Structure 1
Amino acid sequence: MTLTATWGQLSWRALDWVYLSGQVGVQARLPVVVAAGAAALASARFTRPSLVFAQPWQPRLERGLPLRHATVVTGWCLAAYLVGLLPLTAAVAAQGAGAPHPVPILGALTGFAALTLLGYLCGVALRGLIAVPVAIGLVFVCTSMPLVSDTWTALSLQLPFTLSLGSQESVALSFYRLGFFLLLVTAAAWTSLRLLRAPRRWSAPQVTAVAAVAAAAVLPHLYAFPLVTYAPSGSEVCAERDGVRYCVHEGHADELALIVELAAPVFAAYGSSEAVPAQVRDRSLATEDDEVLHGNEHGVLWTGIYPGWDPYQEVPATAAVWLVPDLGVCGSGGVGSTDEGASPEQRRMSALAEFEAWLASRPFSHGSGDGPSSEAASDEDGVRDWIGRNEERLARCEVEPEELPWRP
């Protein structure tokens, strides 16, 4: 399962160790469900009271037997999961960007063991095959809760989003997750041992263990841990073309030339030096949210470089969005149309959208020969002149689709 889920990532661009550190928990979400089901099956079949060799009074039901069950199931499943991650680890090691984060990795692996033991506990408690679907459902819910609410992130294997170079999981969150899963391992193992003794009844230590786990599960809902912090470690690598400075994190140095090649034609096609950003920067270099949110006020265009990104689509589109007025200015609710019966706002929205698409196509216009953008490729100077004459009208969303210079 793990190898199948990660196989397509082996050829991704911009892989880094921060991404892999998070993927250890992300990719475990479904394999740990299978592991919990296997553990529940093992405990339900080999500890049920109908077995002639597993009577409550026999010594094999003391500490040694359940621990051997749990160790074998957890060990095999966790080892298989780690083997499935080896190809992705090798692909990341080949690129070598950033450094691994050990606490999130250790927390995810401890969580894998804890949830597997939780499945084993279901089998011990229910003493029948009904424990298998119960364990699968319970663990699946536990691993899926962060996708519903961020407050569950400290109690599960993964963040609700993917990290990459320049960011890291919050230290407090990482250590809390590790501590919670260590507590869950201890409570699940201890409770399993106590339930296999005769007579089966709750004792003070069991109640204490359950109460400790419950208290640890409630705390993140009372105090919301920060999920992510900026970690712009490493220097920046820069290049300059046509007055625009392009800078990326040193771990993304291989992407710099391509970014310049794809963004520069978009800026050149627009023509106005005042509209073009002073800098294009990699978000991995950011140090705070305000720096990114208010980048346009300082002439900085921030572009995300992350594992699996497609620069041929994202860089020209990001550059074009910077140059084109906010598409909501037309008052059409973001919907453009030139169909019969379309409102004036929708028609003008359509003109802006087509203008943005034309700008984004500039890196691919020469030698392409297809689409309306190729008609303007032979006369980009004329289009720049038209943009200069109509820049204010474009900003006020007053241009009709028929006025676009590449229209017949």
Structure 2
Amino acid sequence: MNPLRSREPRSGAARGPSAQGTLTRNTSARSRSTASPLFWPLPPPLVLVPAVLILLMTLASTWGQLSWRALDWVYLSGQVGVQARLPVVVTAGTAALAAARFTRASLVFAQPWQPRLGRDVPLRHATVVIGWCLGAYLVGLLPLTAAVASQGAGTPHPVPVLGALTGFAALTLLGYLCGVALRELIAVPVSIGLVFVCTSLPLVADTWTALSLQLPFTPSLGVRESIPLGLYRLGFLLLLATAAVWTSVWLLRAPRRWSAPQVTAVVAVATAAALPHLYAFPLVTYAPGGSEVCAEHEGVRYCVHEGHADELALIVELAAPVFAAYGSSEAVPAQVRDHSLATGDDEVLHGAEHGVLWTRVYPGWDPYQEVPATAAVWLLPDMFVCGESVGNPDGRAPSEQRRVTVLVELKAWLVSRPFPGSADGGLFAGADPDEIRDWISRNEERIAACEVEPEELPWRP
């Protein structure tokens, strides 16, 4: 009989306390892994904490938009990238932390020769982080999506949405790459800073828009992101994600030697990042894509995009009193049109030549402030025609400043016309509207040339 075999315990009860403790720990580890398959091989708090933070951040940044006027699907398509700017920074920092903790060389299972440290482990780490954080971000967008769906203006644009989601994953993988490269906790602030810069560059220069998540502004109904720009961004971010994965796997291999695919990936990313600086993509294009809804009031035709039909009556109600208070039918525009109906820049820039006043209707706009002000600006000259931008009614002030005061206060008086009972003040306080209208008709050319002094107003003592 083999003496070595005779010493082996024949049952679990015969084993020593050390073996039993090891067995208990292994069983506990297996049960934890089985109980949390959605997190393995990362501990749940590592992804749950940033996921909850991202959810709260997204809800907080979009909650105020739920009651906005004129929401549309084009706006929401752009907001997917805009709202991801800070959540993706948190996600990249989380990925860097996971890589720094669970791939550092001091861990027995993270040695370069370990077979499990090939392609599977980094991909599994990144998949868990992206899955939870991106999922939390999309859940945070659900209330805004529901608000847009209830109004139903326009249609979603898939290219900006796909670009934003791809960019979310690519920048997270870039953060993971920082963790693999540095293998220390310093990788977390490095990845946060790097990704924050990448998401902020479009706000500095338009040329970076093709390489990041968002436009410098969010388009709305009647305008859409340029298709070439969107497709280029999507391709670049897919390339960046692929290069980040390959480089992470290469850094975890032994020995670390550059391979042809790695060199090709680095060159391809650098070349793709340089091209938008050589050829500037158009950011947006006009896309009216809908019929117009019109109404006529006192000789002025008001038209809006069908998606803004609910705003038409209010636009008429707020603009008509301003035109009526001015009085001159020649100065009043023939049409007031929604900018969402425009088909090109020339049509908008030369609108005044054709008697067309273009007004913007966009998500979150305040018609009570913007419509009267837009109508008054159409009727009156720019105050810079006076040669000054600051008004002063004092008799000892320079003539240019006193004339500016007349224009500024006449504009304020016109803007207040849609709101009966609003307090009149300044040079036009207490004047009868008919008297002001008659004065405007007699002095229209002098008002346009900024030649009226405050002392000339006939109702002033």
Q: 1:406 to 1:214 in 2, by over 3 A?
A: farther
Letter paired with 1:353: V
Q: 1:257 to 1:184 in 2, by over 3 A?
A: same
Are 2:162 and 1:144 aligned? no
CA distance in 2 between partners of 1:181 and 1:341 (Å): 63
Q: 2:282 aligns with which of 206, 226, 249?
A: 226
CA distance in 1 between partners of 2:449 and 2:163 (Å): 52
Which deviations, in whole Å up to 9, do the C-alpha atoms of 1:262-302 show, x marking residues without a partner?
A: 00000000100000000000000000001111111100000
Match of 1:186 in 2: 242
Match of 1:302 in 2: 358
Match of 1:388 in 2: 441
Q: What TM-score, normalized by structure 2, do the two folds share?
A: 0.86
Instruction: Give the conservation status (yes or no) of the 8 Å contact 1:368–1:374.
Output: no
Instruction: Give the conservation status (yes or no) of the 8 Å contact 1:351–1:404.
Output: no
SS at match of 2:85: coil
Which shows bigger deviation, 109-118 or 395-404? 395-404
Match of 2:28 in 1: none
CA distance in 2 between partners of 1:265 and 1:97 (Å): 29
CA distance in 1 between partners of 2:458 and 2:266 (Å): 72
Are 2:409 and 1:354 aligned? yes
Instruction: Give the conservation status (yes or no) of the 8 Å contact 1:22–1:163.
Output: yes
Are 2:113 and 1:60 aligned? no
For residues 159-198 of structure 1, what are the structure 2 equivalents within 5 Å?
159-198=215-254
CA distance in 2 between partners of 1:160 and 1:146 (Å): 6
Which deviations, in whole Å up to 9, do the C-alpha atoms of 1:173-231 show, x marking residues without a partner?
A: 01001111111111111111111011223222111111111111011111111111000
Match of 2:39 in 1: none
For residues 93-242 of structure 1, what are the structure 2 equivalents within 5 Å?
93-242=149-298
Are 2:88 and 1:32 aligned? yes
- Residue 350 of structure 1 deviates from its aligned partner by 1.2
Structure 2 stretches of 5 or more lacking a match? 1-56
CA distance in 2 between partners of 1:374 and 1:239 (Å): 33
Q: What TM-score, normalized by structure 1, do the two folds share?
A: 0.97
The alignment covers a number of residue pairs equal to 404
Q: Percent identity?
A: 82
CA distance in 1 between partners of 2:81 and 2:266 (Å): 25
Which deviations, in whole Å up to 9, do the C-alpha atoms of 1:23-47 show, x marking residues without a partner?
A: 0000111110111000000001000
Match of 2:397 in 1: 342
Letter paired with 1:61: L
Instruction: Give the conservation status (yes or no) of the 8 Å contact 1:114–1:182.
Output: yes
- Residue 371 of structure 1 deviates from its aligned partner by 4.0
CA distance in 2 between partners of 1:382 and 1:104 (Å): 55
Coordinate RMSD, CA, aligned: 1.3
Structure 1 stretches of 5 or more lacking a match? none
Are 2:410 and 1:368 aligned? no
Which deviations, in whole Å up to 9, do the C-alpha atoms of 1:136-194 show, x marking residues without a partner?
A: 11111111111111111000100011211000000100100111111111111111111
Q: 2:383 aligns with which of 319, 324, 327?
A: 327
Of structures 1 and 2, the larger Rg is shown by 2
- Residue 58 of structure 1 deviates from its aligned partner by 1.4
Instruction: Give the conservation status (yes or no) of the 8 Å contact 2:413–2:424.
Output: no
Instruction: Give the conservation status (yes or no) of the 8 Å contact 2:77–2:157.
Output: yes
Letter paired with 2:446: R
- Residue 324 of structure 1 deviates from its aligned partner by 0.7
CA distance in 1 between partners of 2:220 and 2:347 (Å): 18
Which shows bigger deviation, 322-331 or 231-240? 322-331
Which deviations, in whole Å up to 9, do the C-alpha atoms of 1:101-158 show, x marking residues without a partner?
A: 0011001100000000000000001111111111011111111111111111000100
SS at match of 2:109: coil
SS at match of 2:363: coil
Which deviations, in whole Å up to 9, do the C-alpha atoms of 1:299-343 show, x marking residues without a partner?
A: 0000000000000000000000000112111011x2222246521
- Residue 59 of structure 1 deviates from its aligned partner by 1.6
SS at match of 2:304: strand
Letter paired with 1:16: D
- Residue 400 of structure 1 deviates from its aligned partner by 1.3
CA distance in 2 between partners of 1:355 and 1:205 (Å): 69
Which shows bigger deviation, 201-210 or 244-253? 201-210
Are 2:73 and 1:17 aligned? yes
